[in-house]
Amino acid sequence: MLTSRIPTLRFKNSHRLKNTLFSIRNKLIIIMVLFSAVPLLVFSIYFLTTSQSNSLDQEFRQNENLAKNINSEVDKLITRDITILETLAVEPAIANYKSHNLQSEIKPMLTKIAEDHPELSPFIADVSGQQLVKSDSSGLISFADRDYYQVLRKTMKISYSDVLIAKSTNKPIIAIAAPVVDPKTQAWNAIVAGSVDLSKLSDYVKNLSDDNAYAFIVDHTGKIIAHPDQSMNMKDISSEDFIMKSLSGKEGTEIITFNGRKDIVTTLHNSTTGWIIGYAISYDHVMAPIKSVADRGILILAITVMVSAVCGFIFSIYGTEPITKLVEASNRMAEGDLTVQVHIRDKAEFGLLAESFNQMASNVRNMIIQVSESTLQVASSSEQLTAGAEQTSQATEHIAASSQQVAEGSEQFLASVQDTSVVIKEMSEKLNEIAVTSGEVSLKAKDVSDKATEGNHAIEGSIQQMEQIFQTMGTLEQVINGLNKHSETIGQIVQVITEIAGQTNLLSLNASIEAARAGEHGRGFAVVAGEIKKLAEQSALSAKKITGIIETIQKDSYNAYLSMTSVTSEVREGVSAIHQAGIMFGEILLSVKYVSNMVNEVTDATKHLSHGTDKIVVSVNGMSEIAVSSSAETQNVSAAAEEQLASMEEILASATALSRMAEYLQEAMEKFKI
């Protein structure tokens, strides 16, 4: 079964096409902006990245130089003060202070040093840590409990204290102590020490600092000992990552966030004191020139984008005008108007596109016209096909019915032939029995003739023989009567066969007519109908021959019947007159001869009838085979007719579907304007 579905034409709204047009316009603007802005943006990013990297490298080197300068100043300050203290430690007056007046001889020396080096306040102490004389007038104290004294006592080398806040000045200081050894005895006699005011370092780092950069010094415990911001002094920052790294011996420059500000910081480790020397500068200050350049670059990029967008918009207006016309024409064409044409003055790509669109519209219009004409032809052909299929289906149904009738007739004919075959076989057997009896009668007649010559001696024997003849003739009369009846029955059967053959011939004629109506599909059936007709004609001819034979048998049987009636009458008379044998013996002899002749004739007729019966048996067997073949062929014809009927039903359904499709296609074609 053929099925099809004709899709319904749907048209999109024009605003969607306009949105598409706007999308194309936006794409053109974006392309213009990208072609102009992307290279500039890439160059700007590359320039800014390179500038930032160069600025950071330069700042890192500058920070490292400043940190080295600060470290050098710290070394100078501490080393100078250590040198002063070491010089005092080898001064003979100090080494032998017990033999000198401390106030008159040693103190002026200390005072002079303090005047020349204001940051240093030297003093002399004994080995127990008790101060003996100082450069100033403050009271003498013992520092035996101080850590640096304990270190000095153990190592006998110069030792340093942690950074302390002087109570008198509230300034950070450190104490430096050196052992005094007697040059003669190498005995430890005294201690030369001094407190170093670190405020000078604070002033120094303050001079190096401003709002954007600052220097600082951190001791080995992580406390700030010099910072431009006085509030930061002595603050513990050992928990900061960059301080922890520096205290562990890792120097260098890195970007940190400290006190809420992002800085670039460089740290160095002072080998003399173990302090951390640092210099930091604001990251934003370093990046300010680059940021300024970036801002100008962004402004230039924005101006470039705006100019590119304006140029792209102007270009898109002129560039999309042909597209607008094509979109409008495509919209009209999508709505079914195939007469649309696009006229563009541009002879370049858009002009070629317009010409191609016009050619496409013309081709589609011609195709729709051809499809519409073909649809009409298909509709007409499908209607004719439907009508022809209906007629052929009806004819096939009639052929199938006729074939069924022929099949039923063939089965009846086959049954009649089989019955006839049985009857003929029985008749043949009876004729054989008649032939045997006739032979016996002939022998008996000969015996009678022989006995008649013997005279009266055989009267009694003749009486017995005549009685036997009388009985035999009665039996023969009954046999002949039965044969006559069977011949009549065979005649009736042959008449039925003749009628069946005529009916079969008529049915084959009707089948040939129906096959001719079916045309090409009925050609095979026409051949089968022809074969059936031949079989019917052969059956009629055989029936005709059988009829002739039966008529001959009936005629001979009738003659035999008359003869047997006469013989019976004569035998009866002979029996009644047997007692007059002497007188009537000659007449009996003549009658016996006559009977002998008649018996011979009956025997010959019986043999002839027997041969005819054998032929009838052969003919009936042939008719039986023909009937079987006719029945099988008729069943094949009936099956073929049923298959053809099913095929015609499928053709009819397909023709109906084709007609429906043609109607759908015609409806679809009506939506186009051509």
**CATH code assigned at 200:** 3.30.450.20
Q: What's the per-residue H, E or C state across 533-576?
A: HHHHHHHHHHHHHHHHHHHHHHHHHHHHHHHHHHHHHHHHHHHH
Based on the fold, state whether residues 618 and 489 are members of the same structural domain: yes
Q: How far apart are CA 179 and CA 177, in angstroms?
A: 7
Q: How far apart are CA 66 and CA 204, in angstroms?
A: 12
Task: Please determine, for residue 179, whether its predicted confidence score (pLDDT) is greater than 90.
Answer: yes
Shortest CA distance to 423 belongs to which of 488, 332, 371, 336?
Answer: 488
The owner of tokens 């009896």 is 437
Question: DSSP of 375-417, one letter per residue?
Answer: HHHHHHHHHHHHHHHHHHHHHHHHHHHHHHHHHHHHHHHHHHH
Burial of residue 605 (number of CB atoms within 10 Å: 0-12, 13-18, 19+)? buried
Shortest CA distance to 93 belongs to which of 112, 114, 109?
Answer: 109
Based on the structure, what is the number of domains in the chain? 2
240-259: pLDDT as tens digits: 888 888 888 888 888 888 88
3-state class (DSSP) for residue 269:
strand
Based on the fold, state whether residues 278 and 392 are members of the same structural domain: no
Mean pLDDT of 63-73: 86
Shortest CA distance to 585 belongs to which of 593, 238, 430?
Answer: 593
If you average pLDDT over every residue of the chain, what do you get? 75
Q: Is 129 left (phi over 0), alpha (psi -120 to 50) or beta?
A: left
Structure tokens given for 104: 């008159």
Q: What does the pLDDT read at residue 400?
A: 64
**CATH code assigned at 564:** 1.10.287
Q: What does the pLDDT read at residue 4?
A: 40
Task: Please determine, for residue 7, whether its predicted confidence score (pLDDT) is greater than 80.
Answer: no
CB distance 374 to 362 below 8 Å: no
Q: How far apart are CA 473 and CA 567, in angstroms?
A: 8
- Give the end of a domain, one of 258, 286, 314: 286
Based on the fold, state whether residues 270 and 407 are members of the same structural domain: no
Structure tokens given for 218: 């951190």
User: What single-letter DSSP state applies at residue 453?
Assistant: T
Q: What does the pLDDT read at residue 130?
A: 92
Shortest CA distance to 310 belongs to which of 44, 40, 28?
Answer: 28
Structure tokens given for 5: 């579905």
Buried b (16+ CB within 10 A) or exposed e, 375-389: beebbeebeebbeeb
Based on the fold, state whether residues 457 and 604 are members of the same structural domain: yes
Residue 156 lies in a domain: yes
Residue 264 lies in a domain: yes
Question: DSSP of 228-261, one letter per residue?
Answer: SSGGGTT-B-TTSHHHHHHHTT--EEEEEEETTE
296-305: pLDDT as tens digits: 777 877 787 7
Q: What does the pLDDT read at residue 18?
A: 47
Based on the fold, state whether residues 395 and 514 are members of the same structural domain: yes
User: How far from 235 is each of 120, 221, 224, 231, 280, CA to CA, in Å?
Assistant: 24, 11, 5, 8, 17
3-state class (DSSP) for residue 119:
coil
Task: Please determine, for residue 623, whether its predicted confidence score (pLDDT) is greater than 80.
Answer: no
Residue 43 lies in a domain: no
407-449: pLDDT as tens digits: 666 666 667 666 766 766 776 676 677 667 666 666 766 675 6
- Give the end of a domain, one of 286, 302, 317: 286
Greatest Cα pair distance, the chain, in angstroms, is 235
Query: Which residues, 6 or more positions from 152, have their beta carbon under 8 angstroms from its beta carbon?
Result: 158, 159, 177, 178, 179, 191
CB distance 232 to 242 below 8 Å: no
Shortest CA distance to 672 belongs to which of 336, 331, 334?
Answer: 336
Query: With the CA atoms of 365, 367, 370 and 376 taken in that order, what torsion angle do they form, in degrees rounded to the nearest 10?
Result: -90
Q: What are phi and psi of 131, to 5 degrees?
A: -65, 140
Residue 671 lies in a domain: no
Q: Is 187 left (phi over 0), alpha (psi -120 to 50) or beta?
A: beta
- Give the end of a domain, one of 286, 320, 343: 286
- pLDDT bin (cut points 50, 70, 90) of residue 624 is low
H or E element in which residue 419 lies: helix 349-452
Task: Please determine, for residue 454, whether its predicted confidence score (pLDDT) is greater than 50.
Answer: yes
Residue 504 lies in a domain: yes
Q: What does the pLDDT read at residue 517?
A: 73
Q: What does the pLDDT read at residue 404?
A: 67
Q: How far apart are CA 405 and CA 214, in angstroms?
A: 127
Mean pLDDT of 28-34: 70
End-to-end CA distance of the chain: 34
Based on the fold, state whether residues 262 and 393 are members of the same structural domain: no
Q: How far apart are CA 657 and CA 18, in angstroms?
A: 41
Q: How far apart are CA 494 and CA 567, in angstroms?
A: 33
Residue 326 lies in a domain: no
Q: What does the pLDDT read at residue 355?
A: 73
Structure tokens given for 73: 């100043």
Based on the fold, state whether residues 408 and 261 are members of the same structural domain: no
- Amino acid (1-letter code) at residue 376: L
Residue 60 lies in a domain: yes
Residue 23 lies in a domain: no
Higher pLDDT, residue 130 or 614: 130
Pairing of strands 252-258, 172-181: unpaired
| Segments forming the whole domain that contains residue 279 | 53-286
Sign for the CA dihedral angle at 529, 535, 541, 546 comes to negative
